[in-house]
Amino acid sequence: MLISGSFVLAEDPTGAETLKESPEAPVDFVWVLICGFLVMFMQAGFALLEAGFTRAKNVANVMMKNLMDFAVGSIAFFAVGFALMMGNDWHGLIGKSGWFLLGDAYDVSTIEIWFFMLVFCATAATIVSGAIAERPKFSTYLIYSAVVSAIIYPIYGHWLWGGGWLSSSDFMTKLGGGYGALDFAGSGVVHALGGYVALAACMLLGPRIGKYDRHGNPRPIPGHNIAYAVIGTLILWFGWFGFNPGSTLSAHELRISIIAANTNLAAAAGAITAMLITWKKLGKPDVGMTCNGAIGGLVAITAPCAWVTPWAAIIIGIVAGFIAVYGYWFLEKRGIDDVVGAVPVHGFNGTWGLIALGLFADGTYGVYTTEPPYVAGLLYGNAGFFIAQLISAVVNFIWAFGTGYILFYILKKTVGIRVSPEEERVGLDIVEHATIAYPNFVSTEAILLPTVKNGGEEE
């Protein structure tokens, strides 16, 4: 993403000074904003994917959560998150300027970066939505969305993208051979972070009613519309061409062609791998797992996309396909009910993306630019950078899972995080929103069970 430590808040609200210093700036501005619009459209992809994997009685609720992730996240990241992430560095830990986009942050270049960081923030937040679908309180989910957008995502983001210790400390820079830990477009900063917060939430919420039999064996709970999931996957795949190439922050970085190709190849390899695994194991190619294999490939290539060759992107995607499928089965057997497979797809594959960068970076591209020092991984003679990436991956898990667990534990002990069993059986569309996604097809549970209010009491 951004060259760590180079971003400086400088007030230029009209853009006149920016134009004077860089006449070609409008081209870069348009490039970054259009890519940001593509990433924002990924929210529609997540909404359709999650809706497709959930039952009809919860569709409006899961889509409402995606909508509010962007709305709540916009305000939280505007007020607090951006300053913590991209403000002037304080001891390598947090940013300390740019609150509410005031002062020097009232600047055309700064607000361009704010918008691009915002759409990434919304992506991190919405990963949790699908994992915990069909059982959380909507009001509690809004609190989570605000906290992850204001605090959890920005602080780890500062460590890698805002000049923080993981990317810029003397120890990490020396270890990497002139640069610290890297993450081009967010395998760790965005996806692994969201995935491990989702893991914590799933553990504290517990599985859905009926997911496991009395012996603890998992039961399939099919989603209501696999077509939605496929369309959502294709929208996400398309949006990723804004996610990764846009992270050059410049239309003049011609490396965008390689970034786009690597992004596509990893997704294709992940989809084919997941399809073949399920075809072999289940006797038929599973549509949902194939979708997750594609997204897993996209997640895994997001960190290394600018620094690896196309053949390496295919290998990264193949491994991601295995992780998406076997990771889901691994968690399911251990009582963790992740409705859409977000933890293996985003969490495990986000970690794999960070590690893959440390393995396959080929030394032809610099630290977010064409300028040296050039980034090389273990296979190209830089073992120190590989170790730096391992450190980043471990820190990512500790921070994301740890803060996520603390947050949901506090919410569980205070306002509560799960609806009552009666409400869960009726469905969250009616209970939380007094609406039905498909009014011509009303579930028998919604008709036969008494009207419920918060707490499951009869009216």
Q: What is the pLDDT of residue 442?
A: 61
Using a pLDDT cut of 90, give the percent of the chain over it.
89
Q: Is the pTM of this model over 0.85?
A: yes
CB atoms under 10 Å from CB of 92, counted, come to: 18
Calculate mean pLDDT across residues 243-270: 97
2 has pLDDT over 60: no
* Joined tokens for residue 392: 């980043």
Residue-by-residue DSSP string for 308-347:
S-HHHHHHHHHHHHHHHHHHHHHHHHTT---TT-HIIIII
Find the helix or strand (DSSP H, E) in which 366 lies: strand 362-366
Across all residues in the chain, what is the average pLDDT?
94
Round to the nearest angstrom and report the end-to-end CA distance of the chain: 53
Q: What is the pLDDT of residue 282?
A: 97
Listed in sequence order, the residues at least 6 apart from 165 whose beta carbon sits closer than 8 Å to its beta carbon are: 92, 93, 159, 172
Calculate mean pLDDT across residues 196-214: 98
Q: What is the pLDDT of residue 441?
A: 76
452 has pLDDT over 90: no
Of the candidates 112, 111, 369, 110, the one whose C-alpha atom is nearest the C-alpha of residue 252 is 369
Confidence band, pLDDT 50/70/90 cuts, at residue 456:
very low
Tell me the one-letter amino acid at 194.
G
CA distance 354 to 376: 13
Confidence band, pLDDT 50/70/90 cuts, at residue 3:
very low
- State the virtual CA torsion across 251, 300, 69, 416 in degrees, nearest 10: -160
- From residue 299, give the alpha-carbon distance in Å to each of 209, 270, 340, 434: 30, 10, 15, 35
Confidence band, pLDDT 50/70/90 cuts, at residue 459:
very low
Residue-by-residue DSSP string for 9-59:
----SSSHHHHHH-TTHHHHHHHHHHHHHHHHHHHHHHHHHHHHHS-GGGH
Q: Is the dihedral of CA 332, 336, 342, 343 positive or negative?
A: negative
> Which tens digits make up the pLDDT trace of 19-61?
888 888 999 999 999 999 999 999 999 999 999 999 999 999 9
> Which tens digits make up the pLDDT trace of 308-366?
999 999 999 999 999 999 999 999 999 999 999 999 999 999 999 999 999 999 999 99
Report all structural domains of the chain as residue ranges with CATH numbers, in order of start: 17-413 (1.10.3430.10)
